[in-house]
Amino acid sequence: MLPDAFKKQLELSLGPERAGEVISIISSTPASVAIRINPFKIKEFPAQFSSGTGTFSRWGRLLPERPSFVHDPLFHAGAYYVQEASSMYLESIFPLMQEMRAESAAGSFAVLDLCAAPGGKSTHLLSMLKDIPDALLVSNEISRTRASVLCGNISKWGAANVMVTSNDPAGFRCLEGFFDVIVVDAPCSGEGMFRKDPEAVAQWSEDNVRLCAARQRRILADILPCLRPSGLLVYSTCTFNHCEDEDNVAWLSANFGFKVLDCRHFYPGDPKAGEGFFFSAMRRDGNPEGSLRVKKSRSARQGQYQIWKDKLPWVRDGFEVYRRGGQLKAFPAGVAESMLAVEEIQSLKIMMSGTAVADVMDGKGGSKSGGRPVVLPQYSLIQSEVYRRGSLPEVEVSMETAMDYMQRKAILLQGAPTGYVVLTYGGIPFGLVKNIGQRCNSLLPPSLRVRTEMPSEKD
């Protein structure tokens, strides 16, 4: 049962006839489902999605029904992400980002996804940034629990030019003027989630709408100093009302000098759309020239990273490997300096950056290693664009074996070499084991173990 106040609000915005159509769709039809493939790993849609229709993304597809993603090894391999179709309109900013990169060729091209969990927009941005030179993404989520989920989805996507942080927006003041693009998919009253989440209906009220609008303005005001002059701001919500949407855009334009480039709603039933979504893109006045600035705090982290000079055969060309403690991490060469500078800022809570490629242990090799450090590959290596295919033995496995691996069950690889072996499914690396002959020791992190036979739900 949708709240009467919500229905009246929608009628004022859309008129009685259109509002009635939207209310009917929300009340009587199942939620939409869409996927977006990962260009780091596949070029074409998997066969099981051949009956889908196009979305606002070149990589996206709306599906006629929801399959059991948890039973698909390609899902666990990061070959695609399950995302709300309307949210894929974010890709409309890609041509503008290319123009901005051309306008300001000096330094890195930095993007912030401020409210990022569970990772839909961040993985989408990473796909777009793949074609923008020297680009990096900071993906932030204030909730530590949700940030952990974000880390898992980012790692599975496989891009190395990304950092995951867990900060309040005000905590980014040390990065004044650092970002070319800031995406704020703000916490909202969730009217666009009514088909997917009955709890969103139960929690809705006019007071909560006003509370959300005020919180959104606080979030925006705190983060705007971090946007470069002439920078691009994307502000979006999954709600319909003007208080959280158009009114906040007008406030930004009037108080912070933004020019509105795009502003639109998507409703259930709209072409290529899924659930409810509001999108706006604004550009700030100013001179785009100049280098990015990183303000280091007084208690900056010092000396944590040292360049790893030995050749690491598992890492592709174009990436630099650094050591921090007992771990080796790889960063894209074009943005390594910027990423490490951000890493040094003590006030930022950094949960993940670059790609962790190996564990390293000193004095553990004995005579077998000639006293050199022992380097052991990490699971995140084989998920990443960093991984040099063929540098480790690879074995293509069946769906049954793949799912046994994801459930951390014992698997046996007949005829496979001993030592570290990469498991592939559909030609895509998804697993890492140490084969000792009669059995394999799984290197799948316990947190990624599939524990249920029920299909998983992803936003």
Paired sense of beta strands 179-185 and 227-237, if any:
parallel
Nearest to 271 by CA among 450, 93, 88: 88
- For each of the chain's 459 residues, which pLDDT tens digit applies? 899 999 999 999 999 999 999 999 999 999 999 999 999 999 999 999 988 999 999 999 999 999 999 999 999 999 999 999 999 999 999 999 999 999 876 688 999 999 999 999 999 999 999 999 999 999 999 999 999 999 999 999 999 999 999 999 999 999 999 999 999 999 999 999 999 999 999 999 999 999 999 999 999 999 999 999 999 999 999 999 999 999 999 999 999 999 999 999 999 999 999 999 999 999 987 765 544 555 444 344 455 899 999 999 999 999 999 999 999 999 999 999 999 999 999 899 999 999 999 999 987 554 455 568 999 999 999 999 999 999 999 999 999 999 999 999 999 999 999 999 999 999 999 999 999 988 999 999 999 999 865 343 434
The maximal CA–CA distance of the chain, rounded, in angstroms, is 81
Nearest to 279 by CA among 85, 11, 131, 36: 85
DSSP assignment of 132-186, as one string? STTEEEEEE-SSHHHHHHHHHHHHHH--SSEEEE---GGGGGGGTT-EEEEEEE-
What domains does the chain contain, in order, with CATH numbers? 4-30+83-282 (3.40.50.150), 296-390 (no CATH)
Structure token digits, residue 399: 């769906």
Residues in CB range of 118: below 8 A, 6 or more apart? 146, 149, 150, 153, 458, 459
Residue 224 is predicted with a pLDDT of 97
Distance CA 287, CA 231 (A): 9
Structure token digits, residue 381: 């290596």
Distance CA 3, CA 11 (A): 13
Residue 50 is predicted with a pLDDT of 87
Residue 225 is predicted with a pLDDT of 97
**CA distances (Å), origin 250, targets 96, 213, 433:** 22, 12, 54
Residues in CB range of 407: below 8 A, 6 or more apart? 449, 450, 451
The catalytic residue positions are 238
pTM comes to 0.94
